[in-house]
Structure 1
Amino acid sequence: MRARFWLLLIVLFSWASLTNAQSPAQHRIRVLIIDGFSNHDWKQTTRLIKGILEESRRFSVAVTTAPPTPHDTGWDNWRPTFTGYDVIIQNTNNINDTSWRWPRRVERQLEEYVRAGGGLYILHSANNAFAHWQEYNRMIGLGWRNRQTGVALELDSNGHIIRTPPGQGEQTNHGDRFDAVIHILQRHPINQGYPEHWKTASMELYRYPRGPAEHLTVLSAAYDSISKKTWPVEWVVKYGKGRVYNSSMGHLWKGDVYPISYRCIGFETTVIRVTEWLATGKVTYPVPANFPTATEVSLRAVTDEPKGASK
């Protein structure tokens, strides 16, 4: 009788161990990256973001690539499905050719997805995209827009928001990339545990980001020595029941190869924590010991491309 008891206990323990071992894969957050056109290197951007997320073993990442030209016949058959995913990462940009748009049915699908509670990550140049699309402007809050479009936000010396009306100030622009010191303005699950100031490598800081700026919270900002002003770096937007994250971090230009902006431990950590928060409203991914400080960037080796990235 006792032998049977111990045998049953061993079987139950083995079953529980196997279930626990399998559960991370079974419960990975489902992510869809949309790419296909941009004035940036969208192919490498997708590969590296996919690698960063999958290396954490918290995400399952799929990719849908839009047709290769604005008037390609493949647009009729490009029908991405959003409802099966927890987070959509937007990695397309039509700033240099405004005829390159998603079909209206796909636009409506994204609106409905986010409004119903989906998570949307606006990845760097994606906030340059789709100025024609009114609901997209509401979802992203602020973007790369002309001076007549929406309010522009900047921060005063006390971290208070200054709103510049349409027609005043400048259109959105940026200077050279630089190692920017990120100032935390609003504590949030994404940046919980981060130092008050941390340095990220080779970032583009957008001056006069513009848009509706509705239901928007600025999480962090950085000082621009040229304009001598402080501008938002990261913000989150509430759109219906959904969550949207937008940031100018994540620049990857044509000709760059695994640049230091993507090797930055602070950026990689933020990508993972943002995506988890967009999906669940919580963040469990820990802040690594080698996270950047206020005076020092922290980089992966150039030979240490994220293991989840498949070439």
Structure 2
Amino acid sequence: MDLSQAIECANAFVFPGFLTDDASLSAERSRNEEALGVLRSAWMDAPVGKEPFPYELVLDLADRNRDICDRFGTERLRSLSPSSLARGLPAADLIRAVAVLQRRSVAQVTALSGPDARDLNVAWVDAPVSGMVVGIDIETTERDPARGYIINVGLEFMTVGPKAKPHDPFVGYFGLPEMYATKGVPLTEIHQITWSDLAGRVPFREDKQVQKALLATLCAYPFMAHNAAFEDSWFMLHIDGYAGARKDGRIVPIDTRDVCRRVDPEVRILPHETRPASLQSWAQRRGTLKAGESERHLGLDDVELMLATVQAEFAERNML
């Protein structure tokens, strides 16, 4: 699919109610998601101010695709690889995160890490880290942001330093289409969120006030998340104005999973199957989660665990 075809797909008048059989629903979803990939790449790669279309075209197509996925049955899509979910942050983002926390230039960090961030572990421990960050975690109904919904957001602030303590927590729950009252909340076995937690609540994509507040927060402070590419991918398709702010460099994601992999030497010697860079495993090693305890997989709880663990890691490595 080329760009003109992707734009045509996004602008097409489609009435989901007319798509009733599995074949037509599956074909429409596949076409939408291919178009989303083409459109996002074209928009992000274009010079600022010279984008070939407004980013709202992408958001509208993603919204339409969720409706198609609901009608098809999202539980039947879980075997498909997410097409709108980034596997990790680009090297430039990882390098910039170090530069921001160390209050150094990107060029200084790149000189240590290399442009591909291969030696970013050296850069992380080369200078102290400090500054205000916002930790954030979301719970969703699917892995792919073009197929599911944000139903829970937790965030908390922390000034990185020797005596850092998280403060000013926020937690929010967001609604789902009414069909899930009978079908049940997808992935409830992971996040334990049920329909009773969401009934009557405004869906995240409709809550423009929350989106605006989150965007302002993410522009004001670097945000930390464990596997920040997940939150970044979801925000690109769920928060109005996020893509523009991200492209302009006003949003700085910091991936604490990458921090763990870079600076904790135990990650290199532990068996891969134990998932040593997972938040739960990392927190148990740093003593912020007791042996036998499990990660909650709920927004604010995971934020507090992540911030405590990254703080403990920074202290362990004399990075504060």
* Structure with greater strand share of residues: 1
- Answer whether TM exceeds 0.5 for this pair: no
More helix by percentage: 2
